[in-house]
């Protein structure tokens, strides 16, 4: 019986380190990390005509956990938010690095940091950990959203450190299904409220009977006041119904 290629690579040791390429040109440890990301709770980000937002599934499964202590969306600066999917401890290290870079930029230049500069710093760190021997890749994908010169922006990086700017994107569990629905229904002139409505519609369609608004959190930044607003549970429905 012929052994599958994945098993052959494991037997031959191509997945023993993040720095060893397989004969097909793959970094197997990186691919394993990408699978880890897709096991994490999902987040959906969207650029709108009047701002930008990220909505995240907190995926709380234990009634003993205080939901207020579990956030999936983090504040990087007054005008930048971030969400992650994958290993939470890995994500925390990267988020804290982004916060530090934003603070240093403000102290040094007396201006808010550009959204892409935060993304680039985090992406560079992730790339390094796919290149050095004795280290494993960060098992996390990160989405960063913010306002730059009156322009809403979203960037997403994968586990390798590659990053791109998006109009709308999703990371984590069922990310491909979410993105497929976004490609069909997202419009560039969509407003924040309509965008959140679309996001909730997509989550309801994918999760079905398991959908529970109380397990979601929303952070948005509108162009008018450029302040971060955080809403959870039923308050999200109140926001879109006003």
Beta bridge pairs of residue 81? 75, 145
The position carrying tokens 């990186």 is 30
Number of domains in the chain: 1
- Asked if the structure places residue 28 within a domain, the reply is yes
- Asked if the structure places residue 27 within a domain, the reply is yes
Share of the chain above pLDDT 90, in %: 67
- Asked if the structure places residue 184 within a domain, the reply is yes
- Asked if the structure places residue 3 within a domain, the reply is no
Predicted confidence (pLDDT) at residue 135 exceeds the cutoff of 50? yes
Tell me the per-residue pLDDT of 186-209, one tens digit each, with 9 for 90 and over.
998 999 999 999 999 999 999 999
Tell me, what DSSP letter sits at residue 21? B
**Mean pLDDT calculated for residue range 61-87:** 87
**Mean pLDDT calculated for residue range 83-99:** 95
**Mean pLDDT calculated for residue range 209-224:** 93
- Asked if the structure places residue 78 within a domain, the reply is yes
Give the 3-state secondary structure percentages of the chain, helix then strand then coil, rounded to 5: 40, 25, 35
Predicted confidence (pLDDT) at residue 11 exceeds the cutoff of 50? no
- Asked if the structure places residue 177 within a domain, the reply is yes
Highest mean pLDDT (candidates 15-19, 31-35, 80-84): 80-84
- Asked if the structure places residue 51 within a domain, the reply is yes
- Tell which wins on pLDDT, 9 or 87: 87
- Asked if the structure places residue 225 within a domain, the reply is yes
H or E segment to which residue 92 belongs? helix 88-109
Task: Give residue 91's domain range.
Answer: 18-232
The CATH number linked to 103 is: 3.60.20.10
Give the residue from 34, 113, 122 showing the smallest Cα distance to 83: 122
């Amino acid at each position: 019986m012929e052994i599958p290629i994945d098993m052959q690579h494991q037997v031959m040791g191509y997945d023993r380190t993040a720095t060893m390429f397989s004969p097909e040109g793959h970094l197997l440890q990186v691919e394993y990390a990408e699978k880890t990301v897709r096991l994490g709770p999902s987040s959906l980000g969207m650029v709108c005509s009047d701002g930008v937002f990220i909505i995240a599934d907190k995926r709380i499964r234990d009634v003993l956990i205080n939901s207020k202590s579990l956030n999936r969306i983090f504040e990087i600066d007054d005008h930048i938010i971030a969400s992650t999917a994958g290993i939470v401890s890995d994500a925390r290290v990267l988020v804290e690095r982004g916060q530090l870079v934003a603070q240093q930029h403000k102290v040094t230049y007396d201006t808010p940091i550009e959204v892409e500069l935060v993304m680039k710093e985090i992406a560079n760190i992730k790339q390094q950990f796919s290149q050095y021997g004795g280290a494993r890749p960060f098992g996390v994908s990160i989405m960063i959203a913010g306002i730059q010169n009156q322009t809403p922006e979203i960037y997403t990086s994968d586990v390798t450190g590659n990053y791109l700017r998006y109009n709308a994107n999703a990371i984590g569990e069922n990310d491909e299904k979410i993105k497929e629905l976004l490609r069909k229904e997202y419009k560039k002139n969509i407003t924040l409220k309509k965008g959140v409505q679309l996001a909730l519609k997509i989550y309801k369609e994918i999760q079905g009977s398991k959908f529970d608004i109380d397990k979601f959190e929303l952070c948005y930044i509108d162009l008018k006041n450029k302040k971060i607003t955080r809403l959870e549970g039923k308050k999200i429905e109140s926001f879109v119904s006003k």
